[in-house]
């Protein structure tokens, strides 16, 4: 039951209002003075305070100040006859949450109580119902009725609603329908399994923007239409993390949002090289074999990105004769150095930047218990990334680029998924991560894993006929049969990438056009 404290030195005149609330199961406590209100608060759990301004002794604003010294988040509504703008400003500045002018009717009081105490909850419940209905419609569709744009629509809707609810939507969805979104993820993996070879060949009617055609379809047109262009790849950035950055950038840029599907594996050595080379991993291996190394975990797997980018721009017939500048930023010092050297770096009018921080944070959370304790779930991890951005060199870099009038194109090489279920695999000569594997004679549960028996058809290196790739579906992670179960806690509930899920494969493709700062 919600408890309301109504403070007014003429409370007897408000009896009809109090009865109106009590009939709707609100508990209403009353106080005739500021001091009596403080006494009531000390003895009772109160959810919201309705405060009169004109009272004998402590007036409303003095009482609010006293309440705020001990109750920082308790909602307070000023209910007064005064229409003075100075008092309104003083009230709002004194941390009053709303302001009503007498006479008020009972429905006005009820509305402000619901808005302050239940507004977010009601919005979340409505969003959850909408997502359950939308997800059910998708799952009930025949597979041939789905296309990539529909997957984008439902994923975008889900993420935007969850971020707007500060993570409450995910909790509400678990209450309403625990397995629905998990079923959706598995359906997405089946769709990828069916359509991926067609998508990468560009022969499908719904072939999406992908890592290997990002340069051709996004970057080159912007180079040719912009005086100064920055291409930025934020390693391991999910769409929900981008949404925490966007409100700050809206002040400086007009933002155009689209989405890209990463190539498989959705892991840096493949997907990021594919972005910079404008080629599928299979073709990078075929054309630049001396620069390709598939041994996962080796250092320098992405050390040829600037070379790949230069070759790709020439191959794509970029109108400008550009020798692209390239910077890889892994810490604040490197970011600040870049900011101070922007004029030199943008001398040719084009700069490519890799920002590695979110990827470091993601891997650090998997390896360090301290970060895992600070960010035990998706929502808290998103907030950790948001906190970093607000005080980061990256925010300062965006501000500087806006002041210069630079156009910025942003994407990510891949996202990440919060893994929770393990599946056991068998194989020989197996390499990779817990979300993807490659090797010979591999066996896996088809409900949890996609097995690729023709790597070339999937745009992957095929140096031997026995080579196979495994991609984990949804939130599964792959483990060998001989790994002890007590070791699984190191991998369960961690952020991983390389497999097939909405969060890993669907990444934002953003174009920022600077606003006038005069």
pLDDT digits (tens, 9 = 90+) for 499-513: 999 999 999 999 999
- β strands within 262-361, DSSP E: 325-329, 350-355
**Chosen domain end from 191, 223, 252:** 191
- Whether 265 and 336 map to the same domain: the answer is yes
* Separation between Cα atoms, residue 439 and residue 452, nearest integer Å: 11
- Whether 395 and 423 map to the same domain: the answer is no
Residues paired with 239 in a beta bridge: none
**CA-angle at 114, arms to 169 and 155, nearest 5°:** 20
pLDDT score of 311 more than 70: yes
| Residue 484 in domain | yes
Contact call for residues 26 and 113 (beta carbons, < 8 A): yes
| Residue 50 in domain | yes
pLDDT in tens, 240-287: 999 999 999 998 999 999 999 999 999 999 999 999 999 999 999 999
Range name among 357-366, 448-457, 491-500 with the lowest pLDDT average: 357-366
* Separation between Cα atoms, residue 188 and residue 151, nearest integer Å: 8
Contact call for residues 262 and 269 (beta carbons, < 8 A): no
pLDDT of residue 319: 62
Residues in the chain: 518
**Chosen domain end from 159, 191, 223:** 191
| Residue 203 in domain | no
| Residue 180 in domain | yes
**CA-angle at 97, arms to 94 and 99, nearest 5°:** 90
CATH number of the domain where residue 60 is located? 3.40.50.2300
pLDDT score of 232 more than 80: yes
Q: Which H or E element spans position 427? A: strand 421-432
CATH number of the domain where residue 407 is located? 3.40.720.10
| Residue 382 in domain | yes
* Separation between Cα atoms, residue 446 and residue 392, nearest integer Å: 43
pLDDT in tens, 56-72: 888 888 898 888 888 88
Summarize the chain as % helix, strand, coil (round to 5).
Answer: 50, 20, 30
| Residue 285 in domain | yes
Considering only CA atoms, give the Rg of the chain. Answer: 28
* Separation between Cα atoms, residue 12 and residue 7, nearest integer Å: 11
- Whether 324 and 255 map to the same domain: the answer is yes
- Whether 166 and 187 map to the same domain: the answer is yes
Band (pLDDT 50/70/90 cuts) for residue 466 is confident
The whole-number average pLDDT for the span 3-11 is 92
| Residue 111 in domain | no
| Residue 263 in domain | yes
- Whether 227 and 326 map to the same domain: the answer is yes
- Whether 337 and 456 map to the same domain: the answer is no
The whole-number average pLDDT for the span 451-460 is 96
**Chosen domain end from 104, 139, 168:** 104
Q: Quick check: helix, strand or coil at residue 124?
A: helix
Band (pLDDT 50/70/90 cuts) for residue 100 is confident
- In 165-289, alpha helices (H): 168-176, 180-201, 214, 220-225, 239-249, 268-277, 281-287
- Whether 459 and 510 map to the same domain: the answer is no
Q: Which of 419, 298, 416, 296 is nearest to 359 (CA)?
A: 416
Please count the other Cβ atoms lying within 10 Å of the Cβ belonging to residue 516: 6
Band (pLDDT 50/70/90 cuts) for residue 480 is confident
- Whether 185 and 222 map to the same domain: the answer is no
- Whether 140 and 241 map to the same domain: the answer is no
Tell me the residue range of the domain where 429 lies. Answer: 418-503
Domain count for the chain: 4
- Whether 82 and 170 map to the same domain: the answer is no
Q: Which of 9, 46, 8 is nearest to 26 (CA)?
A: 46
The whole-number average pLDDT for the span 383-409 is 94
pLDDT score of 320 more than 70: no
Contact call for residues 128 and 181 (beta carbons, < 8 A): no
- Whether 435 and 391 map to the same domain: the answer is no
- Whether 402 and 510 map to the same domain: the answer is yes
């Amino acid at each position: 039951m919600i408890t309301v404290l109504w403070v007014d030195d003429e409370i007897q005149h408000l009896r009809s209002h109090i009865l109106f609330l009590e009939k709707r199961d609100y508990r209403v406590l009353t106080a005739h003075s500021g001091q009596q209100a403080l006494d009531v608060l000390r003895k009772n759990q109160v959810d919201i305070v309705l405060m009169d301004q004109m009272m004998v002794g402590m007036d409303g604003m003095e009482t609010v100040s006293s309440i705020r010294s001990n109750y920082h988040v308790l909602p307070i509504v000023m209910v007064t006859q005064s229409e003075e703008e100075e008092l309104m400003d003083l009230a709002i500045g004194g941390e009053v949450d709303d302001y009503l002018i007498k006479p008020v009717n009972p429905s006005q009081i009820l509305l402000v109580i619901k808005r302050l105490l239940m507004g977010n909850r009601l919005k979340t419940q409505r969003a959850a119902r909408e997502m359950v209905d939308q997800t059910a419609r998708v799952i009930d569709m025949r597979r041939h009725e789905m296309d990539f744009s529909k997957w984008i629509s439902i994923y975008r809707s889900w993420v935007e609603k969850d971020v707007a609810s500060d993570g409450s939507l995910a909790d509400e969805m678990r209450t309403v329908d625990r397995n629905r979104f998990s079923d959706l993820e598995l359906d997405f993996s089946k769709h990828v399994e069916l359509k991926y070879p067609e998508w990468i060949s560009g022969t499908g009617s719904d072939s999406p923007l992908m890592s290997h055609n990002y340069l051709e379809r996004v970057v080159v047109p912007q180079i040719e239409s912009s005086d100064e262009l920055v291409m930025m790849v934020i390693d391991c950035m999910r769409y929900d993390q981008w949404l925490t950055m966007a409100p700050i950038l809206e002040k400086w840029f007009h933002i155009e949002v689209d989405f890209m599907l990463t190539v498989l594996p959705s892991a840096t050595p493949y997907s990021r090289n594919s972005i910079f080379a404008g080629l599928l991993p299979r073709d990078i291996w075929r054309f630049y074999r001396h620069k390709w190394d598939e041994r996962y975990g080796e250092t320098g797997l992405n050390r040829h990105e600037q070379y790949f980018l230069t070759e790709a721009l020439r191959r794509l017939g970029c109108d400008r004769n550009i020798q692209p500048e390239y910077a890889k930023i892994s810490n604040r010092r490197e970011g600040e150095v870049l900011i101070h050297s922007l004029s030199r770096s943008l001398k040719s009018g084009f700069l490519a930047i890799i920002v590695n921080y979110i990827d470091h944070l993601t891997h650090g959370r998997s390896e360090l218990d301290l970060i895992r304790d600070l960010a035990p779930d998706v929502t808290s991890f998103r907030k950790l990334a948001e906190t970093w951005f607000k005080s980061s060199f990256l925010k300062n870099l965006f501000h500087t680029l806006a002041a210069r009038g630079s156009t910025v194109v942003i994407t990510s090489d891949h996202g990440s998924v919060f893994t929770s279920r393990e599946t056991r695999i068998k194989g020989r000569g197996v390499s990779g991560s817990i979300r993807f594997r490659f090797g010979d004679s591999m066996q896996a549960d088809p409900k949890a894993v996609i097995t690729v028996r023709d790597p070339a058809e999937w745009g992957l290196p095929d140096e031997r006929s026995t080579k196979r790739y495994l991609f984990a579906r949804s939130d599964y992670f792959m483990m060998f049969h001989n790994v002890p179960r007590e070791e699984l806690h190191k991998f369960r509930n961690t952020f991983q990438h390389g497999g097939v899920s909405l969060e890993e494969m669907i990444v934002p493709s953003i174009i920022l056009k600077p606003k006038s700062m005069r």
